[in-house]
């Protein structure tokens, strides 16, 4: 578990560096929609961070369910009661709300897929 924490911290630091580089790239005049190597790396790293965070929560849920199935009289495996538990907070991604347009997948927009049909009609 400690190794995972270290790896996630390193990934968060990498995301922060990529975000700063992307902001500098945009300030230098690169169009926000342009698919540059830095933008691609930022999209990949943020996707990885989100996926790892989701998997981590899923594993904790499975472990908790298994412990509760084996020893239901002990209560929730994390030591809380159902009324005490709070909703999961999203994992930090290194991307601020201002960067939401940076994390948009350019290949999903019709502008970048000229052959893509516009739906029924």
Rounded to whole angstroms, the Cα distance separating 58 from 52 reads 10
Rounded to whole angstroms, the Cα distance separating 5 from 114 reads 42
pTM over 0.75: no
Q: How is residue 23 written in tokens?
A: 């902001």
What pLDDT does 42 receive?
Answer: 95
Rounded to whole angstroms, the Cα distance separating 34 from 41 reads 13
pLDDT tens over the chain, length 121 residues: 788 889 999 999 999 999 999 999 999 999 999 999 999 999 999 999 999 999 999 999 999 999 988 888 776 655 444 444 444 555 555 554 444 444 444 444 444 444 444 444 4
């Amino acid at each position: 578990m400690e190794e995972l924490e270290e790896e996630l911290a390193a990934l968060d630091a990498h995301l922060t560096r990529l975000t700063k580089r992307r902001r500098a790239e945009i300030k230098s005049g690169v169009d926000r929609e342009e698919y540059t190597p830095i933008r691609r790396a930022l999209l990949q790293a943020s996707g990885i961070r989100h996926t790892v965070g989701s998997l981590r929560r899923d594993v904790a849920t499975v472990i908790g369910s298994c412990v509760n199935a084996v020893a239901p009289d002990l209560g929730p495996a994390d030591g809380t009661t159902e009324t005490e538990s709070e909703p999961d907070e999203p994992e930090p991604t290194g991307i601020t709300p201002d960067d939401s347009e940076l994390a948009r997948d350019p290949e999903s927009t019709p502008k970048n897929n000229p052959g893509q049909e516009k739906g029924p009609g």
